[in-house]
Each structure stands twice: as C-alpha cells, then as structure tokens.
Chain A
Amino acid sequence: MNGFEWVVPVILTVITAATPLVFAGIGELVTEKAGVLNLGIEGMMLAGAVTAFVTATLTGNYILAVAAGALAGMFMAFLFGVLTLSLMANQVATGLALTLFGIGISALIGQDFVGEPVKALEKLNIAGLTDLPVIGPILFGQDALVYLSFFVVFAVSWFLFKTKAGLILRAVGDSHDAAHSIGYSVIGIRYLAVLFGGAMSGIGGAYLSLAYTPMWAENMTAGRGWIALALIVFATWKPGLVLVGAYMFGGITILQLHAQAAGLDLPSQVLSMLPYIATIVVLVIISKDESRIRKHAPACIGKIFHPAA
C-alpha cells in the first residue's frame, strides 16, 4: 500500500456492502414507526432477491426485475399484514415465521436458477465525470440502486418529519388508540407502512442478486436482514442514522478484510466481530441517555391494535 490509491476500491466495495442494508433498514424503520415490528426482513429480502433474479434472467429487463423484487417483498409483507393486522397474530412469531417461509419459498422458486449467472446491474458512466480521479468512480460510477437508496433515505426523512401524512404515521405508531379516536384508520396506515417495508426489503434483496453478487444462491442474504433490524435500534429510529449505520457496518467489514490482505496481524475473529461490538457499544452509549431512545422509539411497537377496545 503506497499512498492512498487503495482508498477508492475500499470505498467502492463498502458502497455495495452497505446498500442492501440501507434499503432493508429504511423500510423496516417506516414499518416500526407505524408501530409494527416485522422480523421477517430476511424472508422478504430473499423473496425479492430470487424474484428479481428470475425476472432478470427471463426478461433481461432490470427495471422490471427490481420492480418484481419490490413486489415480491410487498407480497410477503402483505401476508404478514393479513396475519398480524387483520387476524391479530403475534407480530414476533409471525415475523420469524415469515423469515423461515421466505427462505423456503425462495429456494423453491430459485431451484432451476442455481448456478445460472446473470449480467451485473449496469453502473453509471458519464463521459468526463466518471473518469475524474477519486470522486469520479465514487460519485458518478454507481448503479441506479445505490442512488435510489440515498434518495429513499432522504425521502423517508422528509416524509416522516415534514409532512402531515408522516405525522399521522408516527402518531399511529406512538398511540394507536389516540390516532383511532380522532378518526384515522390505524390498520390501513399500518398496512401501507408494512407494504413499504416489504418493497424496500425486496429491493434490498434484488440488489444482492443483481448487483452485489449477481447470482442466485439459497439463503444468500446470510443474515443481512437481522443486521438491518439491529441497525434501526442503532440508529434510534432516525433515517439519516440508518444510512450512517449501514455504511459503518459495511465499512468495518470491508476494512477488516483489507487489513488482513494487507498483512496486519490482527486476529481475524476479533475483526469479524467488530461490527457487532460497535453496535453493542453504541447501544450502551445511547441507552445511558434514555430520553433519546424514548423520544424516537415508537411507543406502540409490536402491540396489537384492537379497534373495538
């Protein structure tokens, strides 16, 4: 490593590692802000990953493929919604079941596509701009989903905190009884939030199978859905911090791989643990200041809403 020419490839790798986490995290954040805890992110991501992959293989149309991934995630989320919102099943149990279901159904759908490679999602290439040193490939050389992930984070942040609809969504998450008493459809709003979460997880999955590692392999999320879930607590339910957290997670993972390749004599097991240690440390720090969590955590998270009560 002479100088800093290693920085650009590291950043490029970090971006691809972080993007699926950003999508899944921001989707779940909206779901949780509406007071619903959906532990099925992993399942929704896998459904999105396999559907997007199959669509891309069959049609060659990547816009369609990403849309199909989003729809698959929404379909899974819809099932979750029917069970937990309409039929009032326990959210934790249903979410876990959704993950298991997603692993199984995605393996089933993908059975004929294991071992089939697909062309990676195309990256932006603007003559002049993409060739700029350092910032060129980083700012102007990404695929469309990376830009979309940033846009979604800012859009969600604006929606939640600057619009009336966002205020209503947060009200539903903080006190469903109060929101109901002044005439808002708690169930309806929660359905929308859950579906949005599903769509984002689906796109996160699509990113895995189309851009990150352009292939379909069973259970290829390898736990990223759970990391996304941890991210939200880490981010204390703030959209901007989800973005920061996702890049921190991705960054630490990639840096430790580079540190090893560079021959730094650090124990790799400890390095592999770093992202999780970092999360725990942050959790401890923010937990010291209880008001910070209490202010942002949706008060009704995971609670079942009985309209008649």
Chain B
Amino acid sequence: MKFKTMASLLGAAAVAGGMLVSGAASAEDKIGFVYVGPVGDHGWTYRHDIGRQAVVKALGDKVKTTYVESVKEGPDSERVIRQMAASGHKIIFTTSFGFMNPTLKVAKQFPNVKFEHATGYKRADNVSTYSGRFYEGRYVVGKIAGKMTKSNIIGYVGSFPIPEVVRGINAVALAARSVNPDVQIKVTWVNTWYDPGKEGDAAKALIDQGADIILQHTDSPAPLQVAESRGVWAVGQASDMNHFAPKAQLTAIIDNWDKYYVERAKAALDGSWKSMDTWAGLKAGMVELAEFNKAIPADVVKLASDTKAGIMDGSIHPFAGPFNKQDGTPAVAAGKNLEDGVLLGMDWYVEGVLGKLPK
C-alpha cells in the first residue's frame, strides 16, 4: 500500500475541489490525466494511476502530473478536459471510451496541447489513441476457463455493449470452445463501469444460473469476492485481485500503461510527439497475466503458457478463422485472421455466446 498514500490523499481532495498537482512545484511542464473511476477502484483507474506514477518516477522534477478522478462520461468530462487544457498542460491523457468526443472537441480548441485518448477510434493532429489488446489476455483466459469449467457455463459480467467489451467476450468464447466445444457464455450487462454492489449481484445471478466461472469487464473486485464466497472460479480484471479471492482467482488480466505513458510524456516534452494509434498487447507488455492459480492442473497451465507464447510470437491469432457468428453465418474463412478494423467495430457475438447483444 506504500504508494497509495499520496494518491489517495490527492484523491480525497480532488473530489471536493478542483484539480490537483503532485510532484515538486515550480515551473515544470504539466501532464494531465482524466479518470472515469476513483484511483482506489483497484482496477482500471488504479492501473492508469500506476502509469501516472511511473511518469513521475521517470521524469522526476521535470514534470508535474495532475489528475481528476471519477469524471462522468459526457458533458462533465468536456468541462474537466477543457479546464486542464486551459491551465497549461502539455499533454492530457483521457482514459475512458466515453471521453472520446469531449476530447476531440476540446482538442480542436487547443491545437498546441497534445491529447491521448484511451480505447477510442477517432484521432486528430493533436489527438492520439491507444489501447491494449486485452482480448489477447482474454483468449488465454478462455483456454483456462474452457478446461476448468464443469458446468460448461461461463458467466461474464459486462459493463457496456461496446466493441471493446464484445471483443473480450468473443475471444473467451472462441478460446474456451476450442478446448471444450460444449461451453456456453452467459452475459449480464450492468451498464456501469463501477458499482461494486451491482457487479457482485450480477455475478450472483450468473452463478445462480449455473455459471462456475465468473469473468468480468467491470472495474471492481466484487465479482471475484462473490466467486470466492460461492466456491466458483473467477478471473481478475485490470489488476491482480488475488487479495480478494485467493482461492477463486485463476489469473488476472493486468493492464500495464507505465511504458507507454513515459514514452508519450517524453515525446510531448521534447517535441517529437506525433498523432498515432497504438494498440499493443501481450508482446509489448501492455497486457499482462497474473500468476496462475496453484489449483490449475499442470497440463492446463502449459496450454495457457503455450497460448500466451504463441500470441507473443505471432503464431496464434485469437480471431483466426474459420469461425461463425452467433447466427451461424461465417465470420472469417479458414487461413485468415479477422482484421483490426473489424475487431475495432465488433458488434456481434460469436457462436457459443447466449442471449442477444443489446444495441
């Protein structure tokens, strides 16, 4: 918890007031971060803040970092981003999909400020986008889940039905069914990124309906905790959540933004920054997997490790054809991989996912 102290102190005041500055105070360059959740969510936002701290560590006295947490997607975020841009920040990281349009709008008005938007697809001369290929991690998880399930039902707590989340569900379905064709995925959408109570309730509902593995694409450890108390498996999201479910956590998909944030901050400071799109996965270290649960049999651990190695060396592509969409129509032919463009706009389930995807 050592590094949490400063962050939480700042967090405490951030909510009550405006923006906060950490690091030595003089006329350094400012780097801003806009978070969708609290830094103490122990998931998505928590990992972005670890990235911010990596910037502080790497660039030291040369920069000041500021952040605003728990910013609602939509008009609220535009106000926060504009305030940051107007207060002399060199580069601003906006770390949620729903900050996309506000980021672009503000970026137009501040051509000299660089913007970095996470998980979006719209860019401009001063707006880059970046994201992790989390589906690579989820594909490995899917292999483990397919082997470990006894009920052949994998429960999936979804946040919002956006391509990023749908891609993860599909990656799990393809991987799990490649090792166990009887597996089916049940999804519940909670329509929030962060509400521990509701996320936990969704996990309970899935377990009550037969799921014996709980996966999640929401930000709190509540679903793992439910899995732990109900005696089923689960996979941590965004950070290692082993504390909450020492028995239940099979592994966790860890986001690692440290390297990217340091690189981009440096580029913004030395003037080499260019608008670009980064979509990196296991190989680049932007996506990591936590230590595997000791209860996983050795052959499954090997399968998972081989899968991970295969993705890293390019011999395995999670969305390699042939496979079908949920309605039975072919999605991609044998010998071909689904293209990034299709992955980015994915708005359909693959075979094996139950229910209808909300539009």
Q: Which residues of A contact B (CB under 8 A)?
A: 1, 6, 9-10, 13, 16-17, 20, 100-101, 103-105, 107-108, 110-112, 114-117, 120, 208, 212-215, 217-220, 222-224, 253-254, 257-258, 260-263, 265, 267-269, 272
Tell whether A13 pairs with B354 under 8 Å between CB atoms, given A103-B15, A116-B243, A222-B197.
no
B227 at interface, CB cutoff 8 A: no
A272 to B190, CA, bound (A): 7
A13 to B203, CA, bound (A): 11
Closest 6 CB pairs of A and B: A111-B8, A218-B38, A218-B40, A108-B12, A268-B189, A222-B195
- Tell me the B150-203 residues at the A interface (CB within 8 Å): 155, 161, 186-192, 194-198, 200-202
Contact with A along B187-226 (1 / 0, CB 8 A): 1111110111110111011101101000000001110010
Contact B355 A108, beta carbon cutoff 8 Å: no
A50 to B34, CA, bound (A): 25
A112 to B12, CA, bound (A): 13
Tell whether A258 pairs with B209 under 8 Å between CB atoms, given A9-B204, A265-B356, A267-B358.
yes
Q: Please tell me which one of the listed residues B37, B197, B354 contacts residue A224 in the complex, with CB atoms under 8 A apart.
A: B197
**Range of interface residues on B (Cβ < 8 Å):** 35 or more
Tell whether A104 pairs with B220 under 8 Å between CB atoms, given A116-B243, A213-B225, A214-B225.
no
Q: Please tell me which one of the listed residues B5, B37, B39, B161 contacts residue A112 in the complex, with CB atoms under 8 A apart.
A: B5
A182 to B150, CA, bound (A): 72
Closest Cβ–Cβ distance, residue A89 to chain B (whole Å): 17
Contact A215 B201, beta carbon cutoff 8 Å: no
A303 to B221, CA, bound (A): 42
A222 to B70, CA, bound (A): 11
Contact A103 B41, beta carbon cutoff 8 Å: no
Taking CB atoms, residues of chain B closer than 8 Å to A105 are 12
A269 to B160, CA, bound (A): 9
Chain B residue with the shortest CB-CB distance to A258: B205
Contact A215 B244, beta carbon cutoff 8 Å: yes
- Residue among A10, A103, A116, A120 facing the most chain B CB atoms (10 A cut-off): A103
Closest Cβ–Cβ distance, residue B348 to chain A (whole Å): 15
Contact B16 A101, beta carbon cutoff 8 Å: yes
Contact B11 A6, beta carbon cutoff 8 Å: no
Taking CB atoms, residues of chain B closer than 8 Å to A114 are 1, 4, 8, 40, 42
Taking CB atoms, residues of chain A closer than 8 Å to B41 are 217-218
Contact B358 A217, beta carbon cutoff 8 Å: no
Q: Please tell me which one of the listed residues B70, B201, B229 contacts residue A13 in the complex, with CB atoms under 8 A apart.
A: B201
Q: Please tell me which one of the listed residues B38, B202, B209, B243 contacts residue A115 in the complex, with CB atoms under 8 A apart.
A: B243
Closest Cβ–Cβ distance, residue A237 to chain B (whole Å): 26
Taking CB atoms, residues of chain A closer than 8 Å to B38 are 107, 217-219
Q: Please tell me which one of the listed residues B192, B229, B354 contacts residue A222 in the complex, with CB atoms under 8 A apart.
A: B192
- Tell me the B1-54 residues at the A interface (CB within 8 Å): 1, 4-5, 7-9, 11-16, 37-42
Contact A117 B208, beta carbon cutoff 8 Å: no
Contact B209 A261, beta carbon cutoff 8 Å: yes
Contact A262 B194, beta carbon cutoff 8 Å: no
Contact A257 B190, beta carbon cutoff 8 Å: yes
Taking CB atoms, residues of chain B closer than 8 Å to A267 are 358-359
A110 to B208, CA, bound (A): 32
Contact A261 B155, beta carbon cutoff 8 Å: yes
A161 to B66, CA, bound (A): 53
Taking CB atoms, residues of chain B closer than 8 Å to A272 are 189-191
Contact A263 B39, beta carbon cutoff 8 Å: no
- Residue among A6, A20, A260 facing the most chain B CB atoms (10 A cut-off): A260
- Residue among A107, A108, A268 facing the most chain B CB atoms (10 A cut-off): A107
Chain B residue with the shortest CB-CB distance to A116: B243
A260 to B354, CA, bound (A): 10
A265 to B355, CA, bound (A): 6
- Tell me the B216-269 residues at the A interface (CB within 8 Å): 220-222, 225, 229, 243-244
Chain B residue with the shortest CB-CB distance to A120: B229
Contact B196 A217, beta carbon cutoff 8 Å: yes
Taking CB atoms, residues of chain B closer than 8 Å to A20 are 197
Chain A residue with the shortest CB-CB distance to B230: A9
Tell whether A110 pairs with B40 under 8 Å between CB atoms, given A257-B188, A261-B206, A265-B356.
yes
Closest Cβ–Cβ distance, residue A257 to chain B (whole Å): 4
Chain B residue with the shortest CB-CB distance to A17: B201
Closest Cβ–Cβ distance, residue B340 to chain A (whole Å): 27
Chain A residue with the shortest CB-CB distance to B189: A268
Taking CB atoms, residues of chain A closer than 8 Å to B11 are 104, 107, 111, 218
Chain B residue with the shortest CB-CB distance to A8: B208
